Amino acid sequence: MSLLPILEFPDSRLRKIASPVTVFDEKLEVLIDNMFETMYNAQGIGLAATQIDVHKRLLVIDVSENKDSPLTFINPEFEVIENELSEYDEGCLSVPGFYDTVSRPQRIKVRAQDRLGQAFEMEADGILAVCIQHEVDHLEGKLFVDYLSSLKRQRIRKKLEKEHKKSA
Ligand code: QAP
Ligand code: CO
């Protein structure tokens, strides 16, 4: 397996819209395994393919305490089943070191395909519902910082640009 480099805000490649996955082959399985390894290595709970510069509709998530419940969502779609919003302090592997409160619908129903292409459905609430919505946003080129004020977003952008210059 291998670790993949994660794109960081404000990289414009994070703004690309991902295309549906149509081929379920060995190559896709290797990509999924590498995404899990990359996510666990970075202490993340969710990673969208967009974040590793692969513009396919694919997410990996593990919100479990023991990091033993990997979930793969391919071509995910969700509907809101509880319009009530809940607030969560979100972060993102593509926005390292920054966290802020975002409001999203509390309960969703997700339809997706698994790594073999088998369709499945599940209902989600709590942190899993937050994480799925956050990761599906990535596939649309959207980041959690887009929900913050432009002042906050600019502040984060400037700090990260400074970090990137230092390490360049
Ligand atoms: C999205 O985020 C999420 O800044 C996944 O230094 C976040 O895995 C969904 C991370 C919160 C629901 C709630 C962020 C790791 C990981 C950082 C992540 C960092 C190290 C973020
Ligand atoms: Co993210």
Give residue 115 CA to ligand 1 midpoint distance, Å. Answer: 23
Q: What is the number of the ligand closest to the CA of 132?
A: 1
From the CA of 91, give the closest atom in ligand 1.
Answer: 7
pTM to 2 decimal places: 0.98
The answer, yes or no, to whether any atom of ligand 1 lies below 6 A from the CB of 88, is: yes
Backbone φ and ψ for 45, nearest 5 degrees, come out as -110, -10
pLDDT recorded at residue 168 = 79
If you compute the radius of gyration of the chain from its CA atoms, what whole number of angstroms results?
Answer: 16
Q: Is the dihedral of CA 53, 56, 61, 67 positive or negative?
A: negative
Structure tokens at 144: 């959690």
pLDDT recorded at residue 83 = 87
Spans of the chain below 70 pLDDT: none
SS3 content of the chain, % helix, strand, coil (to 5): 35, 30, 35
pLDDT recorded at residue 1 = 85
